[in-house]
Amino acid sequence: MRRIQDLAIDPARLYASLQALGKVGSYRDARSGLDGVCRLALTEADGAGRRHVVAAMRELGLDVRVDRIGNVYGRRAGTADVEPVLIGSHIDSVPTAGIFDGCLGVIGGLEVLRALDDAGVRTRRPLVVAFFTDEEGCRFGTDMLGSAVATGRIPLEVAYALTDSEGVVLEDALAAIGFRGEARERVDPPAAFLECHIEQGPLLRARDLDLGVVSGVQSISWHEVTIVGKSAHAGTTPMDLRHDAGVAAARINLGLRELIASGRFGQLRATMGAIRPTPNLVNIVPGVCVCTVDLRNPDDALMRAAEAEVLALYERVAATEGVELSWRQTARTDTVPFAEAVRERVAAAASAQALSHAPIVSGAGHDAQEFARLCPTGMIFVPGENDGISHNPRELSTVAQCANGVNTLLRVALDLAETP
């Protein structure tokens, strides 16, 4: 067998494969003039993307398995019939995405297998490349859904019953695109889980680092807030008789900014991403407003403190505007630390290639955090241009940046696949 340092992936082939998948569900962004990707989970576009990747898996001769929640696993046999090394991420997207988010980990995993085929390398442990259903959570409101079901955090029937804003039931959407598989959804604990992903932030690029060795994922808390005021005529209703649900949402939005400005919650990030007033017309005081709050924090204690402050903010705003306010938790995860053993291997593999690297906390949620419950897990972050902008057609990592990440994925996967 060739020595590990002689093995390498083909950067041009990797990038071409990313671009090919990026053409599925692509659209022309009017504002920027760039091509973006819209493959919302379980839409026809997602189905087309899934068929595209499954075809690539079959070309590599992988044993393809689709489970009941629509997760897809492609298995390359090892010399021993033992727990595999699992390489995975997602190919669903937000409505305004680039071509790298998630796809780099899946297409990169397939490129690792291609490189091994080219070199005639067989590993001791099987290698499995997987993509998981609805990681983004944009359509059905729960992110990391497929990996959460596979690892047992969310029961299958709960996932099946989720509905989108049009009332479409997730199980029906899965069946409609032909990906409600037969295989058992719970996955047997693999030997290790690896995910290569773009940083989706500015830090690596700003510090001129080639790679980030992900130490863990920050805590995430999502609220859906429903504000009920009183819709009324904009021209005739005196200001002091109003109960404006839109104004209440605005107070919450700016209240979140004040929490950040207070500096009392460390690296807290807070976003009101969705704002949906009713009836949403120029001359009617909004009677109802549904909005979302997204909180992130790399420190669990500071996250809990911030959540308490946010609930107090809700109460203050409801009292100030004379509105009824209710909220429900649509996502909540504590910080997830990744395995020391995997982090050391990632750092070693990067150093062996003379790549500059540093530990970094993931700002986003990833499928890897679900697998961290089951097995030693690690992530490799690739820097992005344009301040690491993501969920946007301007999302961009270069050929070299992607190749560094996937070559490191190759080395760590091989390392772990040979480990007894």
What is the closest distance, in whole angstroms, from the C-beta atom of residue 94 to its own copies in the complex? 6
The nearer residue to its own copies, 118 or 324, going by C-beta atoms, is 324
What is the closest distance, in whole angstroms, from the C-beta atom of residue 235 to its own copies in the complex? 4
Question: 414 burial class (0-12, 13-18, 19+ CB within 10 angstroms)?
Answer: buried
The nearer residue to its own copies, 280 or 351, going by C-beta atoms, is 280
Query: Hey, how many other C-beta atoms are within 10 angstroms of the C-beta on 35?
Result: 15
Contacts of residue 138, defined as CB under 8 A and 6 or more positions apart, other chains included, come to 40, 41, 94, 95
- Binding residue for its own copies (CB under 8 A) from 73, 100, 140, 222? 222
The nearer residue to its own copies, 17 or 369, going by C-beta atoms, is 369
What is the closest distance, in whole angstroms, from the C-beta atom of residue 275 to its own copies in the complex? 5
What is the closest distance, in whole angstroms, from the C-beta atom of residue 3 to its own copies in the complex? 37
Q: Find the DSSP H helices in 92-195.
A: 103-118, 145-150, 156-160, 170-176
Our finding on whether 250 is near its own copies (CB under 8 A) is yes
The nearer residue to its own copies, 196 or 416, going by C-beta atoms, is 196
Residues in 263-282 at the binding interface with its own copies, rule: CB under 8 A? 269-277, 279-282
What is the closest distance, in whole angstroms, from the C-beta atom of residue 244 to its own copies in the complex? 8
Residues in 323-342 at the binding interface with its own copies, rule: CB under 8 A? 330
Our finding on whether 300 is near its own copies (CB under 8 A) is no
Here the tokens at position 251 are: 């107070």
Residues in 372-391 at the binding interface with its own copies, rule: CB under 8 A? 387-391
Tell me if 69 sits within 8 A of 370, measured CB to CB.
Answer: no
Contacts of residue 254, defined as CB under 8 A and 6 or more positions apart, other chains included, come to none
What is the closest distance, in whole angstroms, from the C-beta atom of residue 188 to its own copies in the complex? 30
Tell me if 56 sits within 8 A of 103, measured CB to CB.
Answer: no
What is the closest distance, in whole angstroms, from the C-beta atom of residue 151 to its own copies in the complex? 20
What is the closest distance, in whole angstroms, from the C-beta atom of residue 106 to its own copies in the complex? 19
The nearer residue to its own copies, 127 or 293, going by C-beta atoms, is 293
For the chain, the straight-line distance linking the first and the last C-alpha, in angstroms and rounded, comes to: 18
- Binding residue for its own copies (CB under 8 A) from 31, 81, 167, 354? 31
The nearer residue to its own copies, 8 or 275, going by C-beta atoms, is 275
The nearer residue to its own copies, 179 or 381, going by C-beta atoms, is 381
Our finding on whether 136 is near its own copies (CB under 8 A) is yes
The nearer residue to its own copies, 4 or 250, going by C-beta atoms, is 250
Instruction: Tell me the one-letter amino acid at 337.
Output: P
For its own copies, which stretch binds (CB under 8 A), given 11-19, 251-259, 303-311, 344-352? 251-259
What is the closest distance, in whole angstroms, from the C-beta atom of residue 285 to its own copies in the complex? 6
Tell me if 127 sits within 8 A of 415, measured CB to CB.
Answer: no
Strands 192-198 and 85-89, bridge-based pairing: parallel
Report the distance separating Cα 345 and Cα 243, nearest Å.
58
- Binding residue for its own copies (CB under 8 A) from 292, 353, 398, 419? 292
User: Read out DSSP for 231-262?
Assistant: -EETTTS-GGG-B-HHHHHHHHHHHHHHHHHH
E strand map for 242-392: 269-271, 275-278, 284-285, 288-297, 324-333, 336-337, 357-362, 377-382
Number of residues in contact with its own copies, rule: CB under 8 A?
Answer: 73
Instruction: Tell me the one-letter amino acid at 198.
Output: I
The nearer residue to its own copies, 263 or 420, going by C-beta atoms, is 263
Report the distance separating Cα 362 and Cα 380, nearest Å.
10
The nearer residue to its own copies, 61 or 273, going by C-beta atoms, is 273
Residues in 73-92 at the binding interface with its own copies, rule: CB under 8 A? none
Report the distance separating Cα 92 and Cα 99, nearest Å.
10
Our finding on whether 249 is near its own copies (CB under 8 A) is yes
Here the tokens at position 62 are: 């992988």
Our finding on whether 167 is near its own copies (CB under 8 A) is no
- Binding residue for its own copies (CB under 8 A) from 152, 189, 202, 337? 202
